[in-house]
Amino acid sequence: MIESTSCEFQLQFRSLFDSGRGFAFPCDPQGQVDLNHLNERARNNYLYARAMVGRELCWPAVVTAQLH
């Protein structure tokens, strides 16, 4: 996963084809990602991940983040 950060929840988009790959973004318990708090690269990755659901990525899931 890329774009993960230490927060309480993450919205994870897992790859349909390559186990262990995908994207993870900080979110609230309802899965809402605050785009204003993402840097440009993370924002672009988030928009890409949303566009690729069903093509390259699974439907996103809200999971409890592992805090480091």
pLDDT in tens, 18-66: 998 999 999 999 999 999 999 999 999 999 999 999 999 999 999 998 7
Hey, is 44 helix, strand or coil?
A: helix
- The structure's pTM equals 0.82
Within the chain, how many helices (H) and strands (E) appear?
Answer: 1, 3
Structure confidence at residue 68 (pLDDT): 55
